[in-house]
């Protein structure tokens, strides 16, 4: 298969499709399955306020570090081998951490787990580009939707599973979902022995045989990283602070938890819509603007009227998560080659999640220092500004390959849409 339109019959790509979708379904399980059970976990592992805060920050930090490292792994080992390593790390960490009694060992094994998922975050967009260049929007819609489903299903069933067994079996059981990812990829790799799928872009006559892309010098890469940082910071603030804020305003814990679930599940419909709609737009910033209005209305409503029409305000903020689906889609719309998609994915997610990791912590610090939720909520306004600045940078139809010396013609035959 070349880098142009994929001529391989769909039956020759079923393993890849199932592998991509199952990986997406499992990516958030380790992140969101632990918080609902933290009170039970504390009966066996001595979590303090400090170590609880570290646990909350681990996911974006691990995603940031391994987001930056994974493109080198892809270049050295290939997409499929990197994916297999990611799955093995995720499974090993999830199976081991429930059975330790030391809090720092639990955190260390959580890092192993999240390292695997951080690598998985980066590998998925170039896998879509490699196997489905003719159906990027459709396959992206499928995997982003299952990412949203996985974000909802793990916290929803963690407590019932713990009630039936124990918290250890509950959080460890999600390793099974991760392990299943390997099965369709084994089928695909057997199929690929008969089909050549080059990892690196096919050289174009007159171009250098190998072009190295430096994302640190790419306006496209910086724009997507800035955009993802502003977007993800808002999401992590909601995941961390929405329930405590609503309880402080007089709502009961059950209602606060339901509002967080509502916020999470509304990522599903926009995940279906965005990859099918946005590629048809000449200017993607139009879609960004629409979802940004949802974010703004949600932020203002939750702050100004937390006890009135709260479901409406949370629903609007939840629909704002369409900006995240756009970020994932742009990793392929702003690259022409599998290699470029991997570099852009790693850089944007690495720096994006690093920026996002800081904001939930500062949100709490500002609230406590000023004794004002208003001062804390103003930080969400800054996140909006950052996100829009990044959106302006990635709006022009320019690919990351265009920013590499000699890369202007790289992958020109490959579809961007």
In a domain, residue 137? The reply is yes
20 domain residue, yes or no: yes
Q: What is the pLDDT of residue 198?
A: 47
R_g of the chain, CA atoms, integer Å: 21
**Is residue 164 one of the residues assigned to a domain?**
yes
Tens-digit pLDDT string for the chain (417 aa): 333 344 455 556 788 889 899 998 888 887 778 877 877 888 898 887 678 777 877 888 888 898 889 988 988 888 888 999 999 999 999 999 999 989 999 999 999 999 999 999 899 989 998 888 888 888 888 888 888 888 778 777 888 888 898 889 988 998 998 899 888 888 777 776 655 544 444 333 333 335 678 899 899 999 999 999 999 999 988 887 888 888 888 888 678 777 887 888 888 888 888 888 998 898 999 999 999 999 999 999 999 998 888 999 999 999 999 999 999 899 989 998 888 888 998 999 889 988 888 888 888 888 888 988 999 999 999 999 999 999 999 999 999 988 877 655 555 544 333
Report how far residue 364's alpha carbon sits from residue 56's, in angstroms, rounded to the nearest whole number: 12
User: Is 416 part of any domain?
Assistant: no
386 and 246 in one domain? yes
178, 256: one domain: no
Same-domain check for residues 106 and 167: yes
Cβ atoms of residues 287 and 322 within 8 Å: yes
How many folded domains does the chain comprise? 2
Name the residue range of residue 278's domain.
213-404
- pLDDT 10s digits, 199-220: 444 333 333 335 678 899 899 9
Q: What is the 3-state secondary structure (H, E, C) of the chain?
A: CCCCCCCCCHHHHHHHHHHHHHHHHHCCHHHHCCHHHHHHHCCCCCCCHHHHHHHHHHHHHHHHHHHHHHHHHHHHHCHHHHHHHHHHHHHHHHHHHHHCCCHHHHHHHHHHHHHHHHHHHHHHHHHHHHHCCCCHHHHHHHHHHHHHHHHHHHHHHHHHHHHHCCHHHHHHCHHHHHHHCHHHHHHHHHHHCCCCCCCCCCCCCCCCCCCCCCHHHCHHHHHHHHHHHHHHHHHHHHHHHHHHHHHHCCCCHHHHHHHHHHHHHCHHHHHHHHHHHHHHCCCCHHHHHHHHHHHHHHHHHHHHCCCCCHHHHHHHHHHCCHHHHHHHHHHHHCCCCHHHHHHHHHHHHHHHHHHHHHHHHHHHHHHHHHCCHHHHHHHHHHHHHHHHHHHHHHCCCCCHHHHCCCCCCCCCCCCCC
Report yes or no: 240 and 363 within 8 Å, Cβ to Cβ: yes
Would 340 be classed as within a structural domain?
Answer: yes
pLDDT in tens, 284-340: 999 999 999 999 999 999 999 988 889 999 999 999 999 999 998 999 899 988 888
Q: Assess if residue 205 is contained within a domain.
A: no
* Closest listed residue to residue 31, CA positions, set 147, 142, 146: 147
Q: In 3D, which of 139, 102, 181 has the Cα closest to residue 13?
A: 139
185 and 99 within one domain: yes
**How far apart (Å, rounded) are the C-alpha atoms in residues 65 and 55?**
16
- Among the candidates 200, 231, 250, a domain finishes at 200
> Are residue 103 and residue 190 in the same domain, yes or no?
yes
For residue 99, give the CATH number of its domain. Answer: 1.20.1250.20
Q: Long-range pairs for 214-218 at CB < 8 Å and ≥24 separation?
A: 214/403, 214/404, 215/343, 215/344, 215/346, 215/347, 215/400, 216/347, 217/403, 218/344, 218/347, 218/400, 218/403, 218/404
d(CA 351, CA 361): 17
Closest Cα partner for 309 from 266, 259, 267?
259
pLDDT at 407: 56
Q: Say yes or no: 177 and 219 in one domain.
A: no
Burial 343-374 (b: 16+ CB within 10 A, else e): bbbbbbbbbbbbbbbebbeebbebbeeeeebe
Question: Do 81 and 187 lie in a common domain?
Answer: yes
The residues, ordered by sequence, that sit 6+ positions from 171 with a Cβ below 8 Å of its Cβ are 30, 33, 34, 37, 94, 97, 98, 158
Give the count of alpha carbons within 13 A of 106, CB side only: 22
Q: Do 27 and 162 lie in a common domain?
A: yes
Question: 333, 279 in Cβ contact below 8 A?
Answer: yes
Answer whether residue 102 is part of any domain: yes
- Pick the last residue of a domain from 165, 200, 235: 200
Considering the domain boundaries, does residue 185 fall inside one? yes
From 172, 200, 228, the end of a domain falls on 200
Cα–Cα nearest to 344, from 225, 205, 201: 225
Q: Is residue 41 domain-shared with residue 115, that is, in the same domain?
A: yes
Same domain, 164 and 252: no
Residues 124 and 146 in one domain: yes
């Amino acid at each position: 298969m070349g880098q142009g339109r994929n001529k391989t019959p769909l039956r020759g790509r079923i393993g890849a499709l199932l592998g991509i979708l199952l990986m997406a379904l499992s990516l958030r399980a380790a992140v969101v399955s632990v918080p609902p059970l933290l009170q039970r976990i504390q009966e066996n592992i001595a979590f303090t306020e400090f170590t609880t805060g570290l646990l909350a920050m681990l996911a974006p930090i691990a995603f940031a570090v391994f987001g930056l490292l994974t493109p080198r792994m892809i270049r050295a080992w290939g997409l499929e081998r990197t994916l297999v390593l990611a799955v093995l790390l995720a499974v090993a960490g999830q199976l081991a951490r429930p059975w330790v009694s030391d809090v720092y060992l639990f955190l260390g094994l959580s890092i192993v787990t999240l390292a695997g998922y951080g690598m998985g975050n980066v590998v998925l967009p170039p896998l879509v580009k490699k196997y489905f260049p003719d159906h990027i929007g459709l396959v992206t819609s499928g995997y982003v939707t299952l990412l949203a489903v996985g974000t909802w299903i793990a916290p929803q069933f963690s407590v019932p599973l713990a009630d039936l067994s124990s918290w250890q079996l509950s959080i460890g059981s999600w390793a099974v979902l991760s392990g299943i990812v390997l099965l369709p990829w084994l089928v695909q790799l057997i199929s690929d022995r008969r089909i050549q799928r080059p990892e690196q872009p096919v050289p174009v006559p007159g171009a250098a045989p190998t072009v190295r892309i430096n994302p640190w010098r790419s306006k496209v890469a910086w724009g997507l990283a800035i955009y993802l940082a502003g977007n993800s910071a808002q999401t992590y603030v909601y995941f961390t602070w929405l329930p405590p804020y609503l309880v402080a305003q007089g709502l009961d814990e059950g209602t606060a938890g339901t509002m967080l679930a509502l916020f999470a599940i509304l990522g599903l419909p926009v995940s279906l819509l965005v990859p099918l709609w946005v590629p048809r737009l000449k200017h993607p910033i139009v879609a960004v603007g629409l979802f940004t209005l949802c974010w703004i209305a949600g932020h203002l409503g939750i702050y100004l009227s937390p006890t009135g029409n709260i479901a409406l305000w949370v629903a609007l903020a939840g629909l704002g998560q369409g900006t995240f689906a756009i970020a994932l889609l742009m990793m392929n719309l702003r690259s022409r080659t599998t290699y470029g998609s991997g570099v852009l994915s790693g850089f944007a997610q690495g720096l994006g999640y690093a920026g996002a990791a800081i904001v939930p912590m500062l949100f709490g610090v500002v609230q406590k220092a000023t004794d004002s939720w208003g001062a804390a909520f103003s930080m969400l306004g800054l996140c909006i500004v950052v996100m829009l600045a990044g959106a302006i940078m990635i709006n022009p139809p320019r690919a990351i390959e265009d920013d590499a010396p000699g890369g202007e013609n790289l992958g020109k035959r490959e579809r961007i849409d």
